[in-house]
Amino acid sequence: MRLITGPAAPPGAAAETPPAPADPATLKVVPARHPARWAAAVAVAVLLAQFGHGLATNPVWEWGVFADYVLSETIVHAVWVTLQLTAYATVLGFLLGTVLAFMRLSRSPLLSTAAWTYIWVFRSIPMIVQLVFWFNLSALYERLGLGVPFGPVLWSVDSDSLIGTIGAAVIGLSLHQAAYAAEIVRGGVVSVDQGQSEAAAALGLPRLRQIRRIVLPQAMRAILPTAGNEIIGLLKGTSVVYVMAIGELFYQVQVVYGRNGRVIPLLLVATAWYVVLTSVLSVVQYYVERHFARGADRTPPPTPLQRLRRAVRSLRAAAARREEPVVPLSLLGEKR
Amino acid sequence: MTEVSEVMVDVRGVHKSFGPLDVLRGVDLQVRTGQVTVVLGPSGSGKSTLLRTINHLEKVDRGWISVDGELIGYRRSGKTLHELKEKDVLKQRTHIGFVFQDFNLFPHLTVLENLVEAPVAALRRPRAEAERTAHRLLDRVGLADKAAAYPRQLSGGQQQRVAIARALALEPKVLLFDEPTSALDPELVGEVLDVIKDLAGTGTTMIVVTHEIGFAREVADTVVFMDAGVVVEQGPPAAVLDTPRHERTRAFLAKVL
């Protein structure tokens, strides 16, 4: 081996030594071909083109009607209501869910059983059933009040005026969400290494600080992907509150097409908005996850923007290389 | 030891069992201020459990432990012992530094944040002061340039040195080491032991559970040999390591030397 590759052999002496392979750095590289992959790509491209063509040309979609309504005041206001419902239910649901999660993890059997029961009950009731229940709260409890338990009532108010329809919807969504959030948070907390809370305890960190500063930030890595699912599910789930005649997106769309009969374009309006909102949430989720990944990897993964820039740079480099007749192997080896 | 110093850690008749398993069966141990005590013994002899009872990570079933004259985990009034609330136990722990076998640094915090966390949150020190102390301690363990790094960017030996600095940041009265080099690659053991040796030279009271016999011989004031949940024998390193009086000590040393 040494004889062949060693720098000692002068070029002229090649005839004497066994035929030496040419320096790999000067060889031409032919990439492998993938005919099946190409065929599949063509088939999918044709299908996509057909679908796009149908969207553009089929008069049933009524894009004109879509354009008229998608940014109309009624619809934008309905989107706002949907966003509010989602935000309130997310915040309240996850706050209550976090409390329930720590109750379930508590050493007190009463607390953990209470939390378990809550989760059991609220996961068992379909959301729509629960919402109608809350909608009819005033039938169940006409007045709500504060006072001594089992004793005199100090202050009370009419249920309807205290809660209202939107309030009932927020309560219903939040209570439902809390049951799922509790399990998600609990899953995150138990995924954090026991040594972390032990180290925090050994350092004498106050209990709440141990949870807030040490355990939860690490639990977030496990919580966020599932929580993202839940919040997106909730955003779309708010469409269920149309049964309570709240002017959120889906209800409003129904009202409009009930009036003008343009069902398909108005469903498209709702679809477009749900897609936009979900996309925004997905982007937010990506960056929140990134934030909580601090320290988890030796080198943090690049952001999409950095990845895009890098891709452009390598495309340019590839284009520059194509102009050269020979691809140097060593260069290919360096770029991965 | 010629000077007579007072007892810093006093362990009396400590029993601890996990279910049917008796891990500690009446342990007595006195550690004097400024001394280094090395605890040796086979796995499962209760060394780590003993260490963990000293800062109340494990509650004892019987017996008592005091650090600098203060009962751990209990408050005595007359003839009764009142169990302390978690808040007070946490306060006691700030006087007792603990270094874990697998470091247990907080991976989502930088090295500096790891060191600043407890002084700020538990002792309510001003952040600027805590950071100054942290930089000084990092310098002392030879990691002055790693303040901004995350633990996972460091080698095992560096992580353990950060963990030692983190324990020191609370200025504890006693430092407990639970097999501080057992999770390290052999070539990284030395750098951690050097830091501990350096601490021993400054008169820090320490209890070190380890399998490093050479370290025990060089640094320990007292070597304690434990087996099956009791202290079998203890004394100066030369006595225990070279002329052990008990058969069990001899058998253990024959295996590890």
B233 forms bridges with which residues in the sheet?
Answer: B225
pLDDT of residue A243: 86
State both tokens at B51.
Answer: 């260490």
Residues B11/B56, Cβ–Cβ less than 8 Å: no
pLDDT tens for B48-66 read 999 999 999 999 999 999 9
CB–CB of B105 and A217 under 8 A?
Answer: no
State both tokens at A156.
Answer: 């009370």
CB–CB of B100 and A295 under 8 A?
Answer: no
Tokens 């065929």 found at? A39
pLDDT tens for B101-113 read 999 999 999 999 9
The answer to whether residue A36 scores a pLDDT higher than 50 is yes
Residues A297/B152, Cβ–Cβ less than 8 Å: yes
Q: Which of A196, A201, A213 is the closest to B57 by Cβ? A: A201
ipTM: 0.92
Mutate to test the interface with A, among B53, B59, B90 (most CBs of A within 10 A): B90
Task: Assess B101–A contact: CB distance below 8 Å, yes or no.
Answer: no
pLDDT tens for A47-104 read 999 999 998 888 888 999 999 999 999 999 999 999 999 999 999 999 999 999 999 9
**Cα gap A17→B165, rounded to integer Å:** 63
**Cα gap A203→B167, rounded to integer Å:** 7
Q: Which of A199, A292, A295 is the closest to B104 by Cβ? A: A199
Helix (H, G, I), strand (E, B) or coil at A20: coil
CB–CB of A295 and B110 under 8 A?
Answer: yes
CB–CB of B122 and A204 under 8 A?
Answer: yes
CA angle B50, B56, B57 (to 5 degrees): 85
pTM: 0.81
CB–CB of B117 and A296 under 8 A?
Answer: no
State both tokens at B11.
Answer: 């362990």
- Alpha-helical (H) ranges within B41-155 are 47-54, 86-93, 111-121, 127-140
Mutate to test the interface with B, among A107, A108, A203 (most CBs of B within 10 A): A203
Confidence of residue A137 (pLDDT cuts 50, 70, 90): confident
Residue in chain B lying closest to A201 (CA): B90
DSSP state of B44: T
The answer to whether residue A334 scores a pLDDT higher than 60 is no
The answer to whether residue A288 scores a pLDDT higher than 50 is yes
On chain B, the residues whose CB falls within 8 A of the CB of A209 are: 121
Confidence of residue A294 (pLDDT cuts 50, 70, 90): confident
Give me the phi and psi of B7, to 5 degrees please: -80, 125
B97 sits in which H/E element: strand B96-99
Task: Assess B166–A contact: CB distance below 8 Å, yes or no.
Answer: yes
CB–CB of B118 and A297 under 8 A?
Answer: no
Size of interface A-B (CB pairs under 8 A): 77
Q: Which of A200, A205, A218 is the closest to B108 by Cβ? A: A218
CB–CB of A296 and B107 under 8 A?
Answer: yes
The answer to whether residue B135 scores a pLDDT higher than 60 is yes
CA atoms within 13 Å, Cβ hemisphere of B127: 4
**Cα gap B26→B230, rounded to integer Å:** 6
The answer to whether residue B31 scores a pLDDT higher than 80 is yes
**Long-range interactions of B80-83: CB distance < 8 A, separation 24+:** none
Task: Assess B155–A contact: CB distance below 8 Å, yes or no.
Answer: no
State both tokens at B79.
Answer: 């003839």
**Cα gap B160→B196, rounded to integer Å:** 11
CB–CB of B152 and A295 under 8 A?
Answer: yes
State both tokens at B170.
Answer: 């609370």
* Pairing between β-strand B80-83 and β-strand B74-77 as defined by DSSP bridges: antiparallel
CB–CB of A295 and B109 under 8 A?
Answer: yes
The answer to whether residue A292 scores a pLDDT higher than 80 is yes
pLDDT of residue A9: 47
Task: Assess A107–B contact: CB distance below 8 Å, yes or no.
Answer: no
pLDDT tens for A248-285 read 999 999 999 999 999 999 999 999 999 999 999 999 99
> What number of other Cβ atoms are within 10 A of residue B54's Cβ?
23
CB–CB of B55 and A207 under 8 A?
Answer: no
B175 backbone φψ class: left, alpha, beta (φ>0; ψ -120 to 50): beta
Task: Assess A202–B contact: CB distance below 8 Å, yes or no.
Answer: yes
The answer to whether residue A15 scores a pLDDT higher than 60 is no
